[in-house]
Structure 1
Amino acid sequence: MLEALIPYIKPPEKLIADLPVIGPLKLQVFGPLVAVGVILGYHRCLAFAKKRDMDEFVARDLMFYILITGFVISHWVSVLFYFPEDVARNPAVLLMIWNGLSSVGGFFGALVGFFWYLRKMKQPYLIWADMLVFGLLVGFTLGRLGCALVHDHPGAIVDPSHPLAVGPWPGGEYRFDNGLLEFMYLVPIVLFVHFVFNWAKSAPGRIAGLTCLLYAPFRFALDFMREKDKLYFGLTTAHYATMIILGIGVYLLFIRKPKPGDFAYAKDSERIARERAEAEAKNAAPKST
């Protein structure tokens, strides 16, 4: 019998503490990879902002808010919609942000922080969406690599001869590893967006639209390859979410036309000039004795 070409490998982990209510706190490869992904994504966002003359302070604050809302809501969607039995057994699992993340939950969680902050700052949405997608796509991909290494997205049981089968898992079965499959698909998207697509001159909304259009169909299909999940009218939560994401991609790429207001974002050059003028005015002001 043919064996799986992809072996199931469990990286070492270390128990840091067994906390009351929360339970065991472990050091796994997932955490450091997510941290590296956040750092790299942060710097790629700033590189995009610098190239497009976007206010660096607005960019930094925006990333702070979307990371908070993105991670929290990503975890809540993961446990509430995919593992509700865990919440019923131990509601404190809602606080264990490190213990399971949903990509679509992270997407919609980030939108909460995104719209709240940019509305507060009176900024156009699309150019900032492009910046975030450009940078955080890198972080998301590394996060999915972490998922693949800790095997926290087990797929359906398959024949060991399947070219994408991973195994044997601890129970002896062979499965799809959906985290690994998503990572493998995301890598070429990252390479295309960063090194092929003309992101430095693209119209606002094009990067976000392109990424939505590339990601949504694959993710929709991938959810049919999951281990049996809680279904809502025959589909998972991610199925419905990816339909929305696909619609956003189609709208941004093929329907919406650029508007003058899309470019009315806070410019870094204007901020620097304003700060320089304020400093010069302060220095020129007569000092009281």
Structure 2
Amino acid sequence: MFHLHQIDPIALQLGPVAIHWYGLMYLLAFGAAWWLGRARLRAGRFGVSEQAFGDLMFYGMLGVVLGGRIGYILFYGYQQVLADPLSALRVWEGGMSFHGGLLGVIVAMWWWSRAQGKPLWDTLDFVAPLVPTGLLFGRIGNYIGGELWGRTTDVAWAVIFPSGLDRAYAPEELQRLHAEGALDAFARHPSQLYEAFLEGLVLFVVVWWFAAKPRRRYAVSGLFALGYGVFRFAVEFVREPDAHIGYLAVGWFTMGMLLSLPMVVLGLLLLGWSRRASSPRVA
């Protein structure tokens, strides 16, 4: 029998205030990035004070949240926002784009680097190893929230997401139908967990290991961009495309694939440029 997803998206209810798991995952993501970044600083990387690094994290946080939300609206949710403009503010319901968040971070890093007199690519090379842990926690948040699930399948670890059914059911009826196997046709790949493993854990191990030694400028950022683009493109084969967008071409090409291809190209270009850069840098 397939697993029935029944996780309450609210972690804690304090009177009228609801603390969502999705928000807690963001706190864990920023906390992990802070801890890892300080470890790199103390290892002699980048050469800035912890106060300056704190400013960098603050700008990065703003870039992730604003860029991720704006990117989601532009790439995926503009029709929803046109129908309900206030939905753009309800970030606790999910709806964040990694590609939009990445652009937001780049703008934030550029602003900080300009103020600190640092080359932008040195900042990005320093930050790149910190990003995959954020992806790990973010995808776990997607799974807990029962959003961005995969395509239907009959693999043994498939999950039935109530939000992926043809209509809403009362909890008791949902349990009965699940026990009878009546919902098996709606079992889906838990693609959020695939992404958490590949884009989060695996990418973190690879990029962190690669950045453990001084590398030429562009190399660390290039490896991150290439790894993310490849992993995201691969998972898109089992991830359900957004219903209001569907497939863009040939019955399998999705918006996620389209947005990941520039990451692959950029990663290859950066790795190529790094071979022409000067001596290895402490980044």
The answer to whether residue 222 in structure 2 is matched with residue 225 in structure 1 is no
1:30 equivalent in structure 2: 22
Q: Is the 8 A contact 2:216 2:278 kept in 1?
A: no
1:183 equivalent in structure 2: 196
Cα distance, 1:243 vs. partner?
Answer: 1.5
C-alpha distance in 2, partners of 1:200/1:153?
Answer: 36
- Over 3 Å counting, the alpha-carbon distance change for 1:150 and 1:97 in structure 2 is closer
Write the letter of the residue equivalent to 1:162. Answer: V
1:287 equivalent in structure 2: none
Cα distance, 1:74 vs. partner?
Answer: 0.4
C-alpha distance in 2, partners of 1:252/1:53?
Answer: 19
2:61 equivalent in structure 1: 67
Partner SS, residue 189 of structure 2? strand
Write the letter of the residue equivalent to 1:191. Answer: V
The answer to whether residue 212 in structure 2 is matched with residue 193 in structure 1 is no
Write the letter of the residue equivalent to 2:75. Answer: F
Write the letter of the residue equivalent to 2:201. Answer: V
Write the letter of the residue equivalent to 1:47. Answer: A
Cα distance, 1:11 vs. partner?
Answer: 3.3
For structure 1, which segment, 42-51 or 7-16, has the greater mean C-alpha deviation from structure 2 after superposition?
Answer: 7-16
Q: Deviations over 1:93-151 (max 9, x none)?
A: 22223332111221111112122332343311222112211123222211221212222
1:8 equivalent in structure 2: 5
Partner SS, residue 54 of structure 1? coil
2:82 equivalent in structure 1: 88
1:146 equivalent in structure 2: 141
Cα distance, 1:12 vs. partner?
Answer: 5.5
Decide which of 22, 47, 54 is 1:54's aligned counterpart: 47
The answer to whether residue 35 in structure 2 is matched with residue 43 in structure 1 is yes
Q: Is the 8 A contact 1:71 1:106 kept in 2?
A: yes
1:112 equivalent in structure 2: 107
**% identical equivalent positions:** 22
C-alpha distance in 1, partners of 2:161/2:58?
Answer: 40
TM-score, scaled to structure 2 = 0.77
Decide which of 118, 122, 126 is 1:127's aligned counterpart: 122
Q: Deviations over 1:44-88 (max 9, x none)?
A: 112213321521243322221121022112012223422233212
2:275 equivalent in structure 1: 257
Write the letter of the residue equivalent to 1:165. Answer: A
C-alpha distance in 2, partners of 1:123/1:263?
Answer: 13
Q: Deviations over 1:20-50 (max 9, x none)?
A: xxxxx74222211220111111121122133
Q: Deviations over 1:170-200 (max 9, x none)?
A: 5231122332220021212222333x43523
Q: Deviations over 1:180-238 (max 9, x none)?
A: 220021212222333x4352322333222112111102212323433342168535443
- Over 3 Å counting, the alpha-carbon distance change for 1:127 and 1:27 in structure 2 is same
C-alpha distance in 2, partners of 1:237/1:145?
Answer: 21
Q: Is the 8 A contact 1:63 1:132 kept in 2?
A: no
Q: Deviations over 1:241-274 (max 9, x none)?
A: 2111111211122343354598599xxxxxxxxx
- Over 3 Å counting, the alpha-carbon distance change for 1:12 and 1:212 in structure 2 is closer
Q: Is the 8 A contact 2:56 2:109 kept in 1?
A: yes
Which ranges of structure 1 fall in alignment gaps of 5 or more residues?
19-24, 266-289
C-alpha distance in 2, partners of 1:109/1:31?
Answer: 19
- Over 3 Å counting, the alpha-carbon distance change for 1:105 and 1:12 in structure 2 is closer
- Over 3 Å counting, the alpha-carbon distance change for 1:102 and 1:53 in structure 2 is closer
Write the letter of the residue equivalent to 1:251. Answer: L
C-alpha distance in 2, partners of 1:79/1:205?
Answer: 30
Aligned length: 253
Write the letter of the residue equivalent to 1:152. Answer: E
C-alpha distance in 2, partners of 1:151/1:254?
Answer: 39
2:159 equivalent in structure 1: 166
TM-score, scaled to structure 1 = 0.76
Q: Is the 8 A contact 2:63 2:107 kept in 1?
A: yes
Partner SS, residue 225 of structure 1? coil
1:242 equivalent in structure 2: 260
C-alpha distance in 1, partners of 2:238/2:282?
Answer: 43
